Amino acid sequence: MNSLAPPRVAGSATRSLLRQVALPVGILVVVTVVDLATGTSTVYYPFLLLAPTLAAATAPPVAILVIGGVSLPLRYWLAANDGYLGPEYSDLFEVSTWMYAMATALAMYLSAARIRHERALVAVSEVAVAAQRAILLPPSDNLGGLRLAVRYFAVAEEAELGGDLYIALDTPFGVRLIIGDVLGKGLGAVRTAAITIGAFREAAYDEPELSTVARRIDVSVTRNAPADRFVTALLVEVRPDRVAFAHRGHEEPVTIRADGSVHVLEPPDPGLPLGLGDLEPEPPPVWVVPFHEGDLLLLMTDGFADARDATGGHYPLVARIRALFGEGRLEDADPVAAVERLGDDLMRHVGLLGLTDDALVLALARATDPPEPHHAP
């Protein structure tokens, strides 16, 4: 089996090189065929200069040198075929030869600069992706009597990764979790997300009040994150038959009851995002709603609200949740099935346009005790 690996690598490299030189080689072939087919009445060989010039966008420098070396004698041959290689054209051809040489050299320089930029971009992207993956760890399937599932859609353009974040912890005060979104993109957003999660880890185990946990995170983000960053967040604490929320400028959660009814949980007193606590002397209180066995809780970031279809229409989140899960379509409050179904529906909405912002959905439900094993008498 190992003996087959080198041919696969070589074949892949060959296909990659063919893709890189397809455009300039195509120009050489098309110009030559058209020039020969139209006879001596028209000339097309000057367009051969496009081959080494446009090759800078795709081909490596060595390939550009070869293309330039082929295009120049091909140009002389086509000129001779069209009757434009006499002594009266010698000065013109001397100038155009220098133009070919300079165009090829410039294309080689631009190609080398492009390759250096692409390699640097790949390195930065790998660092950013690794940092974000360290933040967005997959949750435990069963945490403190809860079933959790997450689906995340990343929009990474030139390492401009988003700052979506979440973490769930089983603390002495019950299961606590945070979902949030950092203003902006890039490594600064990933760093701010790491600061937020680190502060939540510290405070969630120590503070009995969820509002105090939010306050400690707010202080940490204000002190340690870049000045132009803040975090919209929703803190959640699951209690027996209830769930408590601390709202900090985030998207409203949605609950799907066991009877199929869908409820948007709007905070009675919305709070400011984390990092802006100095503007709010008295943070809003925690609010509590019922949460029973068979209920499903959905938490989203604003990537869902920002999603557009081909006509520019927003993703109708609540209407789609009712269509997907309402009226008995919940199927035993399975968080995994819920995030998969909602995520697939979101991607169908945006279609080929794709998402313009990172999107994250987290679902949780109370875990039911497994049935007692049946023993034959």
Contact predicate 192/225, CB 8 Å = yes
* Tokens of residue 51, six digits: 């081959």
Contact predicate 365/145, CB 8 Å = no
Q: Which domain holds residue 281?
A: 137-366
* Tokens of residue 324, six digits: 């997907």
Are residues 153 and 116 both part of a single domain? no
Q: Is 0.85 topped by the overall pTM?
A: no
In a domain, 371, yes or no: no
Are residues 232 and 103 both part of a single domain? no
In Å, how far are 194, 212, 213, 220, 296 from 223, measured between CA atoms? 14, 17, 16, 5, 36
In a domain, 218, yes or no: yes
Last-in-domain residue among 85, 106, 128: 128
What integer pLDDT is reported at residue 375 of this predicted model?
Answer: 38
Are residues 212 and 195 both part of a single domain? yes
Are residues 150 and 120 both part of a single domain? no
What integer pLDDT is reported at residue 85 of this predicted model?
Answer: 67
pLDDT 10s digits, 33-47: 888 888 777 778 788
Are residues 123 and 141 both part of a single domain? no
Give the domain CATH number at 276.
3.60.40.10
pLDDT 10s digits, 255-290: 998 888 899 999 998 889 999 877 877 878 899 999
**pLDDT(298) > 90:** yes
* 372: confidence class by pLDDT, cuts 50, 70, 90: very low
Are residues 103 and 210 both part of a single domain? no
What integer pLDDT is reported at residue 288 of this predicted model?
Answer: 94
Q: How many domains does the chain have?
A: 2
What integer pLDDT is reported at residue 4 of this predicted model?
Answer: 41
* 373: confidence class by pLDDT, cuts 50, 70, 90: very low
Are residues 258 and 356 both part of a single domain? yes
What integer pLDDT is reported at residue 187 of this predicted model?
Answer: 74
Q: Which class for 374: exposed (0-12), middle (13-18), buried (19 or more C-beta within 10 A)? A: exposed
Are residues 117 and 232 both part of a single domain? no
Are residues 225 and 304 both part of a single domain? yes
